[in-house]
Amino acid sequence: MLRCEPAVFGPVASDPTVSRLIDTLAASGEKALRPIRSARSEVRNCHTDTMPESRTVSEEPCAARHPSE
């Protein structure tokens, strides 16, 4: 899916590169998960700050928030 939208996502890593990354992250266990969770939380907080108070990030799927045109 990412490769179908190069103008939106830019260059995308090859399947073997992504596979190696996943293997490395899986082998790292909690050492890799802590920074990933922290980054996800930071992004969620950033997006929550820009949404109307009556909504939360989880109330609406990403595709509904950012429909393709």
SS3 for 13-49 is CCHHHHHHHHHHHHHHCHHHHHHHHHHHHHHHHHHHH
- Residue-wise pLDDT for 16-39, tens only, equals 999 999 999 999 988 988 998 999
pLDDT band at 49; cut points 50, 70, 90: low
Domain residue extents for the chain: 12-50
Instruction: Please tell me which residue, 68 or 1, carries the higher pLDDT value.
Output: 1
pLDDT band at 8; cut points 50, 70, 90: confident
Task: State the first-to-last Cα distance of the chain, in angstroms, to the nearest integer.
Answer: 15
pTM of the full predicted structure?
0.46
2 near 12, Cβ under 8 Å? yes
